[in-house]
Amino acid sequence: MSDLSPQPKDFSQRVADFLTAVDYRRARTDEDLAEIQRLRYDANLREGAIAANRDQLLQDRYDELENCVNVGVWIDNRLVSALRLHLLARESADSALLEAYPDLVRPRVARGLRIIDITRLAADFTAARQHRYLAYATVRISMMASEHYDADLILAAVRTEHLPFYRREFLAETLSEPRPYPSLIKPLSLFEIDYRRNRRLILERHSFHESTVAERDALFGKAQWPSFKDALALA
């Protein structure tokens, strides 16, 4: 069973203090995106999750979709971590998770649910060891996006050994055994966070996941889901 018992207030305060040094930036140019793709490449190559390539970038077609948002986490003007999210719904039904787990993701989209689809979470090896709260600062982006876009669910895929963190932090429920994942060597398990149902419990446990309207608007812009022209036919 997931543990959402209250954590010591000093822990939440330490993470909140750390967040004052963090700058969230959305990738808005080709140069911004390439820097994030290079960070992904270095992190995944170090973990043996991908094979080396000449460009030294971890990229795919999903970075170019209209419903895609790439966010970098910066400290002292240095990119230290990043994640990618897709705004997945009937009107924007394309993402890596939908390709990898169609039997699990497609029915949720067909039900009309709004999903924050999280992929490509990566951190600089040295920075992750220098900043013990970097993981919390990075996954906080998913909470910010869910609030900004009024989402129902968060979906993500991770290695099995990382699942306990998400169960503990977000009441995540595992949806699949490890499966092959596009462009990665190591299989991943899909999990789901019921944001609409568990938002209050998550925030009560760790208040640093809270964000202001101004903070979200500065990062994501207008809270509007894209009208994706090539949306899949979902009955």
Contact 82, 39 (CB under 8 A): yes
24-82 confidence digits (pLDDT tens): 999 999 999 999 999 999 999 999 999 999 999 999 999 999 999 999 999 999 999 99
**pTM as predicted:** 0.89
Tell me: the pLDDT tens digits for 181-229? 888 998 999 999 999 999 999 999 999 999 999 999 999 988 777 754 4
Q: At what angle do helices 134-148 and 163-170 cross, to 10 degrees?
A: 50
Whether residue 74 lies inside any domain: the answer is yes
User: Is there a domain that residue 177 lies in?
Assistant: yes
Tell whether 30 is covered by a domain: yes
Nearest to 24 by CA among 70, 55, 66, 65: 70
Rounded CA gap, 35 and 39, in Å? 6
Residue 196 falls within a domain, yes or no? yes
The structure tokens listed for 28 are 């808005």
What range defines the domain where residue 82 resides? Answer: 14-220
Residue at 233 is within a domain: no
Q: Is residue 37 part of a domain?
A: yes
Is 231 inside any structural domain? no
* Domains of the chain: total: 1
Does residue 86 contact residue 67 with C-beta atoms inside 8 Å? yes
Q: What is the CATH number of the domain that holds 19?
A: 3.40.630.30
Predicted pLDDT at 230: 43
What's the token pair of residue 82?
């990043």
Give 75-110 pLDDT, tens digit per residue.
999 999 999 999 999 888 899 999 999 999 999 999
